[in-house]
Structure 1
């Protein structure tokens, strides 16, 4: 008998605690409703915020006072970041076409050279002698041809002898051209205009054909190679702007553009090679530097709501929308969070009244009274949300 009394007293205490909780803790109503306590006790859940309704008791009626913000339309922005390697727009390794001793070096490391400027000169004594010999042969052959042509007028020289002399003259002229070419090969000139790097040789060194002397780079513009995930290929285009940040100077953000797209996706990384270009008129960048490259892609348009409107339950996120004086619960899928707005997938149209205050005790179909005044604010414009990194 004592046991039964204790059980009954325990049940009474539990019911009293639940009743007190429901009356004095407005936030308890949704939990009690989901737990079926109101149905068990045969009572209706409160229709609004007890405190906002002037201290209504358990089961009291009346419209809940709420504050709303108008839903807006925003756009999901995707931002792709990649690390790229910089290289000069043009870079040429200067090599010798002949073998010989370096007699003169006409360039200093780190200097700017024009196209065609002398870089180095090899010893050319033998080539100069050969050129003089060839010129003498041309002069001698030219005199023979002239003499034979004069004799031909008298009929004492056959035509074939004159042809042989003319052929000897032409052969001598070709020898002159060959000697001039050989002499020019002893001069090593700049193939492009640009900045000369470190010298690989010294005056007096003996070099062979194709030995490197140095590198000339035209770094007036820097090209950057980086890779982009294949899902963005359809949104890439020549001339698309890119944000470039040297890893050595993270506060220096530069603007470039895409100049080339590869035609094959890498199977291992599922990325496409992209080439960008960056102006370097101030000559502050160098080939071989590492850069962080960012591209922004505009996404689809979605409803934008105030962050205060987002609520959570065991089924996920949702918002309350005021429609025809009633509260309607609308499930949402969050797509992007910004500092002043949240982009969601939901059956919400721009201009819908989304409840941001007074949501503690709302239930579907509850009567609501929209509060106007200083506290009733509109959701911030979200047409240009902050991008997110991918």
Structure 2
């Protein structure tokens, strides 16, 4: 296409677009007037277009005026007060509860080993049995010890006969012979006691009341004084060791109640109390070791279980504010307090952040109104109006 044809086509498109804008776009006439086009020319170009002020009813003009006031006022009331939303300060508590993971152990646990070397001849218990202290749980071969005891009994009998004879004929024997006979009698008695002790040690007995674990030996095994025969657990109570942060060192004390839950018993809470507090802080983890005692009369818990231990404390109380209220500047954090329809900046020091509230140290108290919305337009000592006041003035019930 020739250049002059492209130029003419472009002029036609521009004119058509301009005409369409004039006749169809609202406010086109006003735009032309604002651009400096004479009103007489505008009326000829767009005779049907009227300004908004000429065609709009009186009520619409009032609405536009109110809209303009809202735009110009930036959310302020008729008296220049900034519309804000507030939330009262509430009381928050920190360090009021401790949760830790601990490991349970039986209140008494013993690995039973023989007192002598020998071959197991008999096993009198099985896993899960309840035994009493002194009850025989296994026996070793004892033939040699039985013979030794018999020999000691014969030796004692002979020593007694000789001692009695010498006492009856003191006039015929020397005092030294009588003394030797008495010494021989005492030696024979001691040998009999030793033989009897060696024979007794062939019986392996339970040193405590408890429940038998898995028996790792069998009849015919040759055992020594270091061979574990069985493990006995007295689990009438469970001891749970757990570690708490250093800041609780002066808070936890013996006798304080605890609550524990176990993975094996979900939803079930076991009560107990602190039995012991360690005398030093672990320098590596900065924690303190605590031991709690938990009643297990129902025998539902086992040694080695993991526990989630919880403790309650009075805690430290601080003002709590909405996280949206906390602002920052070059001097640190602060909040805006609404007092007597004025905004006041209050410096705060953050203690703890929670999902719903921020605990702070500040010169505020429960019930004080803290601004949470409308923060961008307020200033120190500026007039403010709360949303509740506006709703009340408009006759809207607030909760």
TM-score by length of 1: 0.72
Does the residue aligned with 1:261 lie in a helix, a strand or coil?
strand
Tell me the number of residue pairs that the alignment of Structure 1 and Structure 2 aligns. Answer: 329
Match of 1:209 in 2: 225
User: What is the aligned counterpart of 1:98 among 110, 113, 116?
Assistant: 116
Alignment of 1:217-256 (within 5 A): 217-256=233-272
Q: Decide whether the 8 Å contact of 2:110 with 2:233 is kept in 1.
A: yes
Residue 25 and residue 276 in structure 1: after superposition, are their counterparts in 2 closer, same or farther (change >3 A)?
Answer: farther
| Deviation by residue 1:246-294 (Cα, 9 ceiling, x = unmatched) | 2344433333332223333333323233222222222122112222334
Distance 1:63 1:265, change over 3 A: closer
Matches within 5 A, 1:287-302: 287-302=303-318
2:70 aligned residue (24, 34, 53): 24
Distance 1:337 1:348 in 2: 17
Q: Shift of residue 224 of structure 1?
A: 2.0
User: Cα distance 1:71–1:312, how it changes in 2: closer, same or farther (>3 A)?
Assistant: closer
More helix by share: 2
Quick check: 2:127–2:213 contact (8 Å CA) kept in 1? yes
Q: Return the offset for 1:132.
A: 2.1
Alignment gaps of 5+ in structure 1: 1-7, 10-18, 30-48, 54-59, 378-390
Rounded to whole Å, the distance in 2 between the matches of 1:297 and 1:376 is 38
| Change over 3 Å in CA distance of 1:22–1:327 after alignment to 2 | farther
Equivalent residue runs for 1:55-204 within 5 Å: 60-61=78-79, 71-77=89-95, 79-152=97-170, 155-204=171-220
In the aligned structure 2, how far is the partner of 1:312 from the partner of 1:227?
A: 34
User: 2:198, 2:67 → 1: CA distance?
Assistant: 104
Residues 298 and 310 of structure 1: CA distance in aligned 2, closer, same or farther (over 3 Å): farther
| Equivalence for 2:293 | 277
* Greater gyration radius: 2
Is 2:357 the partner of 1:311?
no
Q: Aligned in 2, Cα 1:138/1:248: closer, same or farther, shift over 3 Å?
A: same
Of 312, 315, 323 in structure 1, the residue corresponding to residue 339 of structure 2 is 323
Matched, 1:262 2:308: no
1:267-326 C-alpha deviation (Å, 9 max, x unpaired):
332323322222222212211222233444544321234x3x943555376544343443
Aligned to 1:140, the other structure's residue is in SS state helix
Whole-Å separation in 2 of the counterparts to 1:116 and 1:172: 28
CA distance in 2, matches of 1:160, 1:21: 135
Q: Distance in 1 between matches of 2:143 and 2:351?
A: 78
Query: Which is worse superposed, 351-360 or 161-170?
Result: 351-360
Following superposition, the deviation at residue 200 of structure 1 comes to 1.3
Q: Any idea what the Cα deviations from partners look like across 1:198-229, whole Å, max 9, x if unmatched?
A: 11111222222321111001111222222223
CA offset digits 1:154-178 (Å, max 9, x no partner): x222211111111111111111111
Q: Cα–Cα, structure 1 residues 92 and 342, in superposed 2: closer, same or farther, change >3 Å?
A: same
Q: Name the SS for the 1:252 alignment partner.
A: strand
How far apart in 2 are the matches of 1:375 and 1:223?
Answer: 59
Runs of 5+ in structure 2 lacking a partner?
A: 1-33, 36-64
Residues of 2 paired with 1:359 and 1:287: CA distance? 58
Partner-residue secondary structure (3-state), 1:256? strand
